Amino acid sequence: MDMYREIILDHAQNMRNKGLLHPNDFDHEEHNPLCGDKLHLTLQIDEHGIIRAVGWDGQGCAISQASASMLGEKLIGMPLADAKQLDKQLILDMIGIPLTINRVKCALLSLKTLVVGSVGLETWELIEDNEDE
Partner 1 sequence: MSSTFDFPYEIDTIRADFPILHQDHHAGVPLVFLDNAASSQKPTAVIEAMNTYYRTIHANVHRGIHKLSEAATAAYEDARKKVQKFIHAKSRREIIFTRGTTEGINLVAQTWGRANLQPGDVVISTVMEHHSNIVPWQILAAEKGFTLKYLPVLPDGTLDLEQYTRWLRDENVKLVTVMHASNVLGTVNPVAKMAQMAHDAGALILVDGAQSVPHLPVDVQSLDCDFLVFSGHKMAAPTGIGVLYGKRDLLEAMPPWLGGGDMISRVTLEGSTWNELPYKFEAGTPAIAEVIGLGAAVDYLSALSMEKIHAHEQAITRYALERLAEVPNVTVYGQSSERGAVAAFTVKNIHAHDVAQLLDAEGVAVRAGHHCAMPLHDFLAIPATARASFYLYNTPQEVDIFIAALYKAQKTFAL
Positions in the binding site for partner 1 (CB under 8 A)? 31, 33-35, 100-103, 121, 125, 129, 132-133
Residue 100 CB, nearest approach to partner 1 (Å): 4
Q: How many CA atoms lie within 13 A of 30 on its CB side?
A: 22
Q: Return the SS3 of 29.
A: strand
Distances from the Cα of 81 to the Cα of 34, 65, 78, angstroms: 30, 24, 8
Helix (H) or strand (E) holding 39: strand 37-45
Residue 70 CB, nearest approach to partner 1 (Å): 21
Residue 77 CB, nearest approach to partner 1 (Å): 32
Q: Is the peptide bond before 23 cis (omega within 30 degrees of 0)?
A: yes
Nearer residue to partner 1 within complex by CB, 75 or 109: 109
Dihedral (Cα; 123, 124, 130, 131), 10-degree rounding: 170
Nearer residue to partner 1 within complex by CB, 47 or 129: 129
Residue 60 CB, nearest approach to partner 1 (Å): 12
Nearer residue to partner 1 within complex by CB, 46 or 125: 125
Nearer residue to partner 1 within complex by CB, 17 or 32: 32
Cα 117 to chain centroid, rounded? 11
